[in-house]
């Protein structure tokens, strides 16, 4: 067998290295930014997480199909790793560990549920400065902007305070209806306790008489507690925070004619619309009234069309407002912040960029000095028979 000449061997090696080098350069030119997501996509409280994960996947798909995005001279695509916590704190903690330690994701979307957030917070805190967590959970309000929680930002409007939608809604309720007695009916879990902590002091301050009943998560028949509440004769019923319960509460309350006026700071317009003939008034906080916005705002119309094309199903109008939480807009906002910061690897620098920007997408989103989102929202009043009155609110 003829021995290969030394020159040919060296040339081959150089060629091989050059090809490998090109391949590596090419792979780097299309590097990947990983976004992890921990939301309840199934389970009784899945509505928030389900819609969030729907919007995130859509935005990631749009960005990747457009060729990704560039930071400096480098192009990136996004890899979304969306895990279903089922609303279970233990499961979420394991999933977050996987996202951070195995998948090396630096950007985490979620959680929306407070019980899940409280469980994952200590672990996430170990990576302060190394990750950026964007969650909608109400309990994030207690920690965001405090020392040791620089990794945290909240993507949902806060209920109380000058920009608080809850405060604005209660004011509006008292001024327009003269309500003096409000019955609260919350599920006996972290979310219910959060609402109690926020709204009981608010009602006390405004001199509103209130009663508070809790129900067990998983309840479907509310006849007993509704009968008890109706006997107290409240002006408004302030029920729950998840549609999975609201549909039944509103239906059962109106079917027997026991309670006909509702005040909601969580949940959708859907239960009211479904029972519009049996109720007198249904006042609800809606991050966006999509039915109206679709007709007026081209960005919203484009989003609705993209959703239908991507998922090949009807657009969930009643759930779509939840896209305001760690969802569609936030992926684009994160990309803009990375471009502005000039890095995809430094969450602290990206956070700094986020804090200084206003993103004009489906919502106009900015963050306060603690890292809590402030965005425009709507208050919808549904009257008997289906007449609607929409008020647009732009917090200062």
Partner 1 sequence: MTQLVLGQVLNGAIIGAMYGIIALGITLTFGITGIVNFALGEFMMIGAYATYALAERGGLPYPVAVVPGCLVAAAAGYLSNKAFFRFTRNNLVNGLLVSIGLISIFESAAMLLWTATPVEMHFVLPGALRVGDIGLPKMKLVVFAVIVVVIVATYLGLARTWLGRAAFAYAQNPEAAMLMGVHTPRLETAVMLYSTGLAGLGGALYASLYSLEPAMGGVYVLKGMEAAILGGIGSLMGSLWGGVILGVIEGVGSILLPTAFRDAYGLAVLVAILLFRPAGLFGDE
Chain residues that interact with partner 1, rule: CB under 8 A: 41-44, 46-47, 50, 188, 213-216, 218-221, 223-225, 227-228, 231, 243-244, 247-248, 251-252, 255-258, 270, 274, 316, 318-319
Identify which of residues 162 and 188 has a Cβ nearer to partner 1 in the complex.
188
Q: Which is nearer to partner 1, 199 or 359 (CB)?
A: 199
Smallest separation (angstroms) from partner 1 to the CB of 270: 8
Using the minimum distance from each CB to partner 1, give the nearer residue, 54 or 163: 54
**The 281-286 sheet, strands edge to edge:** 209-215, 181-187, 236-239, 261-264, 281-286, 377-383, 388-393
At closest approach, how far in Å is the CB of 369 from partner 1? 35
Residue pair 210/183 in contact (Cβ under 8 Å)? The answer is yes
Q: Determine the Cα–Cα distance for residues 327 and 19; give it in Å rounded to an integer.
A: 40
The helix, strand and coil proportions of the chain, stated in percent and rounded to the nearest 5, come to 45, 20, 30
The SS3 of residue 208 is coil
The least distance separating partner 1 from the CB of residue 376, rounded to whole angstroms, comes to: 24
Bridge partners for 36 per DSSP: 81, 108
Q: Please, what is the minimum distance in Å from the beta carbon of residue 188 to partner 1?
A: 4
For residue 66, how many C-alpha atoms fall within 13 Å in the half-sphere facing its CB? 11
Please say which residue, 319 or 343, places its beta carbon nearer to partner 1: 319
Q: How far apart are CA 29 and CA 178, in angstroms?
A: 62
Taking the least distance from each CB to partner 1, the nearer of 36 and 316 is: 316
Euclidean distance between CA atoms 113 and 49, whole angstroms: 8
- Smallest distance, partner 1 to C-beta of residue 230, A: 9
Q: Decide whether 100 or 250 has the Cβ nearer to partner 1.
A: 250
Shortest Å, Cβ 161 to partner 1 = 29
Cβ atoms of 127 and 151 closer than 8 Å: yes
Omega before residue 393 within 30° of 0, cis: no
Residue 276 Cβ vs partner 1, minimum distance, rounded to whole Å: 12
Q: Which is nearer to partner 1, 7 or 218 (CB)?
A: 218
Phi, psi of 264 (to 5 degrees): -130, 140
29 by DSSP, 3-state: which? helix
């Amino acid at each position: 067998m003829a021995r290969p000449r030394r020159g040919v061997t060296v040339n081959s090696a150089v060629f091989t290295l050059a090809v490998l080098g090109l391949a590596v350069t090419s792979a780097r030119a299309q590097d990947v930014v990983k976004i992890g997501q921990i939301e309840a996509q199934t389970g009784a409280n899945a509505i928030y997480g389900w819609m969030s994960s729907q919007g995130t996947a859509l935005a990631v798909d749009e960005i990747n199909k457009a060729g990704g995005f560039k930071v400096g001279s480098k192009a990136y695509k996004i890899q979304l790793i969306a895990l279903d916590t089922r609303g279970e704190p233990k499961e979420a903690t394991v999933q977050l560990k996987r996202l951070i330690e195995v998948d090396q994701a630096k950007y985490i979307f979620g959680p929306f549920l407070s019980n899940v957030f409280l469980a994952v917070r200590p672990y996430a805190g170990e990576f302060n400065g190394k990750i950026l967590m964007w969650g909608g959970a109400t309990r994030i309000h207690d920690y965001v902007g405090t020392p040791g929680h620089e990794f945290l930002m909240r993507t949902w409007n806060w209920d109380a305070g000058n920009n608080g939608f809850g405060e604005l809604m209660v004011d509006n309720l008292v001024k327009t209806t003269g309500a003096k007695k409000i019955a609260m009916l919350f599920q006996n879990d972290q979310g219910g306790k959060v609402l109690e902590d926020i709204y009981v002091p608010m009602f006390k301050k405004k001199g509103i008489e209130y009663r508070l009943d809790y129900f067990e998560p998983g309840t479907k028949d509310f006849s007993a507690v509704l009968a008890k509440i109706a006997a107290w004769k409240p002006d408004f019923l302030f029920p729950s925070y998840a549609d999975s319960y609201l549909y039944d509460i509103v239906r059962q309350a109106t079917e027997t004619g026991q309670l006909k006026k509702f005040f909601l700071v969580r949940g959708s317009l859907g239960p009211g619309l479904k029972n519009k003939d049996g109720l007198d008034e249904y006042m609800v906080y809606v991050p966006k009234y999509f039915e109206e916005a679709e007709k007026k705002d081209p960005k919203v119309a484009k989003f609705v069309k993209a959703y239908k094309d991507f998922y090949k199903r009807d657009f969930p109008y009643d759930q779509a407002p939840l896209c305001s939480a760690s969802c569609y807009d936030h992926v684009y906002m994160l990309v803009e912040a990375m471009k502005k910061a000039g890095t995809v690897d430094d969450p602290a620098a990206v956070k700094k960029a986020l804090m200084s920007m206003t993103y004009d997408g489906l919502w106009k989103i900015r963050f306060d000095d603690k890292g809590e989102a402030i965005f425009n929202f709507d208050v919808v009043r549904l009257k008997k028979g289906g007449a609607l009155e929409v008020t647009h609110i732009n917090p200062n």
